[in-house]
Amino acid sequence: MMQLRVSMSVALLSALAMTGCSTLSTKLAVNNGSLNYKKAENVEPLKYPQGIDARAATPLYPAPIINPVALEKAPDFENQKGNRFAMPRPFEQVQNRTQAKKAQNQYLRPVVLFDAKRNPLLKVSGKSDTIWQYTLATLSSLNYSVKGQNPTRYEATIQVNQKTYVLKLSAVGKENTLVVFNPDNSFADQTQAEELLGQIAQNWPA
């Protein structure tokens, strides 16, 4: 029994040590030069002094010419600190961190766009709770009355120029979409919805 306890204790300590070492190695990872290839430059062919008869040197492994735009959008095979090459796990989808960050913050200010059927919608990046609070604050600054709010969703019934609309906010990641509906859940008149969303965008508090 004593040997069993000792064996279990040793196994547990070994597992904790391996986990701790893995986490510590990630945090303390230093640059080992494995990402230097990203900054590699073309090297001129070897030049021989005049008067020396030598066979022409042919590159054994010629480097391919890659479009700089493709490099900017290529996946980042690197660790969390971005200073070492890291092989992705099987079937892992690796993104370009810079492009992903730009996508998350694409609409730092509200922008009115249109769907395929020309229904206007407002796009803005950020936390949904904050975006919704900004939306309500903007409606208040415009003196538009909020008649009711859904307690479980980002949805509010408002009155604009004696007409009733329903504002609904949906989110995918940090990208939020605000759409104007009629009380019967149909899309609001496109001209009036575009005007309302345009006013919200122009008077956005952030």
Per-residue pLDDT of the chain (206 residues; tens, 9 = 90+): 555 454 555 555 555 555 444 444 445 568 888 888 777 777 777 777 888 887 777 777 777 777 777 777 778 878 878 788 888 888 777 777 666 666 555 667 899 999 999 999 999 988 999 999 999 999 999 999 999 999 999 999 999 988 999 999 999 888 899 999 999 999 999 999 999 999 999 999 86
Tokens of 177: 């979409």
CATH 3.30.310.170 domain range(s) in the chain:
111-202
Output the pLDDT for position 99: 61
Output the pLDDT for position 177: 95
The helix (run of H) or strand (run of E) holding residue 193 is helix 190-202
**Distance between CA 12 and CA 10 in Å, rounded?**
5
CATH 3.30.310.170 holds for 111-202:
yes
DSSP-assigned beta bridge partners for residue 165: 158
**Distance between CA 155 and CA 93 in Å, rounded?**
34
Q: In sequence order, what are the residues at sequence separation of 6 or more whose Cβ sits closer than 8 angstroms to the Cβ of residue 128?
A: 154, 169, 171, 176
Output the pLDDT for position 130: 93
Output the pLDDT for position 27: 53
Q: Is the dihedral of CA 7, 13, 16, 21 positive or negative?
A: negative
Tokens of 147: 């008649």
Burial of 168 (C-beta count, 10 Å sphere; 0-12/13-18/19+): middle
- DSSP string over 73-110: TS---B-TTSSSB-PPPTT--PPPHHHHHHHHTTTSS-
**Distance between CA 157 and CA 145 in Å, rounded?**
9
**Distance between CA 169 and CA 118 in Å, rounded?**
18
- pTM of the prediction? 0.53
Output the pLDDT for position 61: 75
- DSSP string over 3-36: HHHHHHHHHHHHHHHHHHHHHHHHHT----STTG
Output the pLDDT for position 192: 95
